[in-house]
Structure 1
Amino acid sequence: MPILSPYGPVQNLALAAAALAIESVAGYPDVLFQAIGHPVTWQGRAIEACDRRLNFGSPLRRRLGGLAALVGLLAVSIAPAALLQALLAQSGLGMAALAALAASLPAQRSLYAHVMSVAEALESGGVEAGRLAVSRIVGRDTSALDEAGVARAAIESLAENFSDGVVAPAFWLAVAGLPGGVAYKAANTADSMIGHKNARYLDFGRAAARFDDLVNLPASRLAALWLVFAAATRGKARTAWRCVSRDARRHRSPNAGWPEAAMAGALGLQLAGPRVYGGVLVEDAFMGEGRREATSADIRAALALYRRACAIQFAGFAAALAALVAL
């Protein structure tokens, strides 16, 4: 068995697998959130401070300010994470503590809960309740969505957030340990807060949006792969793969189309297409080749597929770890 270094591939893979396992069982405890917050909330406060202090002036000045904010955020996120990994990774007890810290980065349980709340709202309270529930997890206008629109929005959010909220943090933990996972979360949080194409953030958030696209490239492809494998249990792996191959690159996002196309093919739905953001109709290609009349039952089917994909991801990390240890 190879000797573990603080940033060796064996240790990083073990850290990613342990973080996924811990988070799938325990999530991020509410009592801990109430006591100390969450890494994302800490990073969010730093981004808000940068927004107040650096987002002004000419377009060039805003772009440079946004770049400085991103670099500074990455630096203050990576440095303490690297120090913690170096200090804790030398013993079994320290590794357990490191895994507990890393478990705050993926969001398997919370994503499941938020999307399930949309299905339950549709079933118990109808379209109005469904619109309210889905408005908490999507950025589009939800006031005019019908039942099918609410269900599709929830499923699209599940697919996209499986990639950037579950697969991506696990991938960067496996590649670069706790510093990699924390750096990814910083980039993703910055994009979600300032990476918008509106008057305030078009220039200031440009660096954050471009960097987030870049670091999500591998995870979006992996997420599609895990979903295709999961679709095999429904006899839909071939269809899911065909939809990914045909449709993923047609999506307006360089990353979201991959898991959305896989999910659409696995469920026999059409996802994406034209949507309204901030009162503006955004034209986009459809993912998949099935029906558009999604229901709460389709949300539940998507969640079952998602859980299988999460299990497949964990199995993939465990298998890679076993292979490395055996070398």
Structure 2
Amino acid sequence: MAEKVRVRVDGRELTLTNLDKVLYPEAGFTKAEVIDYYSRVAPVMLPHLRGRPVTVKRYPNGVDQQFFFEKNRPAHTPAWVRTVRLPAPGSTKDRETIDYAVVDDLPTLVYLASLAALELHTPMWRVDDQGGPQPPDTMVFDLDPGAPATIVECCRVATRLREVLREDDLEGCPKTSGNKGMQVYVPWSHRSESPSEYAKAIARRLEKERPDEIVSQMARKLRPGKIFIDWSQNNPAKTTIAPYSLRANRLPTVSTPITWEEVESCSRPEDLVFTAEDVLRRVGELGDLMAPPERSGTGNEP
């Protein structure tokens, strides 16, 4: 029988099991370490998760074993986990609605980590206090390198993307995907067109400007050696890996906010690979690089 450990997190009781199970075999990184990482990074991660319905990617037996996506919260989810019921158009399971968990607090984040929900994916919009979906508050450009291109080439594209955004008085925040690519997040509030329409127009413009380097179309046959600017991630039905989420790689890499200086100076793919340990150290030194001005700064202790 699996050993059970009862803990209190911000006044909520949780039962944790299999804490010594190794979820990242090559790194020897256990479930206990996954929970510890999410607990310590929570001060900077939670502001990016609050109000957003979460889709998780669970690896109950580790990153080298079978996984599954989970949108509908599990039946055994504690009653104190905030849940929102939203329409599910095009559901592969013929559902009319889905009951999503919303990670508004530390206990919920720890609970999901205890389920081996290694990856947390969120949309670019939030729900209000009554659970109603709101207009997008963020636009994302997902830069995906087609081999042999790498994140080094993504950085070159991101630098040009930054220049184009600034023409419209928009400022992007770069982060690694934690895999091979990166994203640029842009706060979105006041424009008349949708973020999807705007992002598509920018992607098409950059593709026309640098056809040997950039592609804006989904077809995989067009991607080798180029950077695919995936503007479609702004579709309200889609999600993107959340800032500070772990990724299910051989090492516990993290989707990590980075500086524009790091983008401009990247010369090797490994320059922008950050593990959980790296990220906790960075947060201690740099704070949340994706925080709005009133919340940014150093000294956020993970």
Identify the TM-score tier after normalising by the shorter chain: under 0.3
**Structure whose residues are more often helix by fraction:** 1
Tell which has more relative contact order, 1 or 2 (C-alpha 8 A, sep 6+).
1
Considering fraction of residues, name the structure with more strand: 2
